[in-house]
Amino acid sequence: MATQASTRAAGDLAHGSVSACGARHVAIIMDGNGRWAKKRLLPRFAGHKAGVEAVRRTARAAREMGLECLTLYAFSSENWKRPASEIADLMGLLRRFIEADLDELAAEDVQLRVIGNYQALEPALVALIDDAVARTAANGGPILAIALNYGSQDEMVRAVQRIAAQAAAGSIAPDAIDASDVDAALDTADLPPLDLLIRTSGEQRLSNFLLWQAAYAELYFTDTLWPDFDGTALRQALDAFRTRDRRYGGL
């Protein structure tokens, strides 16, 4: 199994080169929906609803810019601490997003993916997600990955359990386990290496998102609240990314 660096090299060859925007994989911590609503004296739901519009705008812009993969943090494994009504609102918005947008995503050749322990969501939503992922699985276009019930530590624990099971079964020697085996056991195994991690709303932390994958990703923090994010904001982030000198520990 290839390492992230060799996966990158192989991927670059397979796709000719990185996209015109300089990155293959961008991930976003979509933060600030509640503050956006509060500023307008609206309920938090209005912020999340406007957040879905920002998802649509940003996903379209990412496709137009030639990004291979956009990963969005929609619901974390810690978001269960929110009031039940807000959790239900978020799940309802997600369901309606899939129902309303799947045709367009499929027509645009998008591959819809989900990372995180989404099987723990309610069975009807899990079935909807599985159908949507299966319907777009053979597409050859960009990947839209939604992180649902996702937590990086949970993902790593599940990866360790998988590898430990392989070791217990004798299919891998503990001494032979390397970073590429961990890469392969993560939910992101089939996604390109992460280039850029964006967080909106002025907060500057990773909040248990893609901690392993972000080892050499560039970080970009913007004060823009997620419902105000759009193609222009994405372009600004990618412009900043292009100025970064990525050395991967070298010179």
Residues tagged active-site: 31, 79
4 or 76: whose CB is closer to ligand FPP?
76
Contact residue for ligand FPP among 23, 27, 28, 30 (CB under 6 A): 30
Contact residue for ligand FPP among 4, 26, 34, 68 (CB under 6 A): 34
Query: Which residue's C-beta sits nearest to ligand FPP?
Result: 34
The kind and range of the H/E element at 76 are: strand 69-76
Q: Are 150 and 76 in contact (CB under 8 A)?
A: yes
Question: CA 6 to CA 218: how far, in whole Å?
Answer: 18
Question: CA 75 to CA 72: how far, in whole Å?
Answer: 9
164 to 176, 212, 220: CA distances (angstroms): 12, 18, 35
Is 24 annotated to bind a ligand? Reply is no
208 binds ligand FPP (CB under 6 A): no
Other CB atoms within a 10 A radius of the CB of residue 170 amount to 7
Give the pairing of strands 196-199 and 218-221: parallel
Q: Whole-angstrom distance between the N-terminal and C-terminal Cα of the chain? A: 26
Binding residues among 210-229 for ligand FPP as defined by CB under 6 A: 226
Q: Are 207 and 219 in contact (CB under 8 A)?
A: no
**Distance of closest approach, residue 229 Cβ to ligand FPP, in angstroms:** 10
Is 199 annotated to bind a ligand? Reply is yes
Is 82 annotated to bind a ligand? Reply is yes
Burial 5-39, CB ≥16 within 10 A → b, else e: eebbeebeeeeeebbebbbbbbbbbbbbbbbbbee
69 or 72: whose CB is closer to ligand FPP?
72
110 binds ligand FPP (CB under 6 A): no
**Residue 26 CB partners (closer than 8 Å, separation 6+):** 62, 67, 69, 70, 71, 194, 195, 196, 197, 198, 234, 237, 238
**Distance of closest approach, residue 224 Cβ to ligand FPP, in angstroms:** 12
162 binds ligand FPP (CB under 6 A): no
Q: Are 188 and 12 in contact (CB under 8 A)?
A: no
For ligand FPP, how many residues bind (rule: CB under 6 A)?
20
Is 76 annotated to bind a ligand? Reply is yes
Is 33 annotated to bind a ligand? Reply is yes
9 or 80: whose CB is closer to ligand FPP?
80
Is 80 annotated to bind a ligand? Reply is yes
72 binds ligand FPP (CB under 6 A): yes
**Which listed range, 5-13, 87-95, 135-143, 216-224, lies at the site for ligand FPP (CB under 6 A)?**
87-95
193 binds ligand FPP (CB under 6 A): no
Binding site for ligand FPP (CB under 6 A): 30-35, 48, 51-52, 55, 72, 74, 79, 90, 93-94, 97, 146, 201, 226
